[in-house]
Amino acid sequence: MELTFWWVLPLAAAAAVLVHWLAGRRTGGTHARPVAHSERLTTLPEYRRALRRHRRWLATAVVSGFLLLAATALAAARPAERSTTQPELRNRDIVLCLDVSGSMASTDAAITGVFEKLAREFDGERIGMVMFDSRAVQLFPLTDDYDYIAGELGAARRAFDDGGDGFFSGTWGGRGSSLIGDGLAGCLRSFTESDSSLGGNGAAERSRSVILATDNYVSGAPIFTLEQAAQLAKPKNVKIHALNPGDLDYGEDRDQPGARLRAVAEGSGGSYFAPDSPEAVPAIVQQVQESEATAYRGAAQLIVSDRPEAPLLAALLAGAVFLAAGWRLER
């Protein structure tokens, strides 16, 4: 709690002192009736009682008048509450990049299930989804139509659960299967180029992340290797979060598929997870969500809000008491 116009208080105090001084000077000149033998009146108990009552009302009037002045001066000084908030930026773009080769079905189902639920709580985020096997197919582009997203994700999840081949037919027919690099490159195409080049300030820029679910087992000849695809992510500032349910690396060799995936994910600023079972996926997604959330808190904002309620309420009460006392004294 602080005062916007703190200088009102010394001004009000100075004005009060000045008025008091002027009033004191004026009453010095007013005439009072000189009387003698006032003990004729002042020794009467009735007079004493009435005088005590009178003094009580006077004191009430003085105190309430002072409170009224102080409260209105305080209100005039505009008490304000200054608080800093870090608004959570909800302008994230998430592209689900799912390898739909047979080994990944249960993980994909878990991921789509999680996002199907999350989509109902999202506000401002955009979600897109791309499936790939030998070709990348965009199931839906980045959108914030959450009902639509939920519907599409629900259909995808059922297809993953059922193994509904017709759903994935567009992902076949390329040269080979599980062309991870091409898939990732396709996923990254979901992000428009223009944002970073056109985007003026950083606050308006949307954070971008790809949730890449793959075991990184390539069979075939992709156009892009994983590393080349990851290079595409750099200028677009996309973080790649990798989920590898089948991390079957032998040893610490950096050419092992899991290790390569990890290198790519961490190289883009993302993270790498190797869940043992699909049940672990929701926790991982949650973790990614939260890390994104903390990473993309907005700049601290100063919020100054006027809080005149308490002084004005006090002024109202003091004014009411003052009027009552004044009425009683003038009667």
Partner 1 sequence: MFIFAHRKTLGLLDGEYGSVFKGRSLDFDELRAYTPGDEVRDIDWKATARHGAPLVKRYVAVRRQTVLLVADTGRNMAALAASGECKRDIAVQVLGVLGYLAHRHGDVVGLVHGDAAGSRSVPARSGEDHLERLLQDVHRGTVLDGGPSSIEHQFDYVLRNFTRRMLLVVVADEVLPDAAMELQLRRLQARHEVLWFTVHDTELANRADADAVEVADGSGIPEAVSADPAVRAAYRQAMLEREHRRQELFRRLGIAEGGAGSSAQVLPELFALLARHRSRRRAASRGQRHAG
Handedness of CA 113, 116, 120, 122 (dihedral sign): positive
In the bound state with partner 1, the residue whose beta carbon lies nearer, of 312 and 324, is 324
Q: Can you list the alpha helix ranges (DSSP code H) found in 242-304? A: 257-267, 281-295
Contacts for 210 with CB less than 8 Å, ≥ 6 apart: 94, 95, 97, 184, 187, 188, 233, 238, 239, 240, 241, 270
Site string for partner 1, 10-39 (x = CB under 8 A): --------------------xxxxxxxxx-
- Check residue 46 for interaction with partner 1 (CB under 8 A): yes
Q: How far is the CB of 46 from partner 1 (least distance, A)?
A: 4
Q: How far is the CB of 18 from partner 1 (least distance, A)?
A: 25
Site string for partner 1, 205-244 (x = CB under 8 A): ----------------------------------------
Bridge partner residues of 126 (DSSP)? 93
Which of 20, 54, 175, 297: binder of partner 1 (CB under 8 A)? 54
Q: How far is the CB of 43 from partner 1 (least distance, A)?
A: 8
In the bound state with partner 1, the residue whose beta carbon lies nearer, of 41 and 320, is 41
Pairing status of strand 92-99 against strand 207-213? parallel
Q: How far is the CB of 21 from partner 1 (least distance, A)?
A: 21
- Check residue 1 for interaction with partner 1 (CB under 8 A): no
Helix (H) or strand (E) holding 272: strand 272-273
Q: How far is the CB of 319 from partner 1 (least distance, A)?
A: 22
Residues 291-330 that bind partner 1 (CB under 8 A): 329-330
In the bound state with partner 1, the residue whose beta carbon lies nearer, of 121 and 330, is 330
Pairing status of strand 219-220 against strand 272-273? unpaired
Class of residue 221 by CB neighbours under 10 A (exposed 0-12, middle 13-18, buried 19+) = exposed
DSSP state for residue 88 in the 8-state scheme: B
Instruction: Report the half-sphere exposure of 180 (CA within 13 A, side-chain side).
Output: 22
Q: How far is the CB of 58 from partner 1 (least distance, A)?
A: 9
DSSP state for residue 200 in the 8-state scheme: -
Site residue total, partner 1 (CB under 8 A):
22
Residues making contact with partner 1 (CB under 8 A):
30-38, 40-42, 44-47, 50-51, 54, 329-331
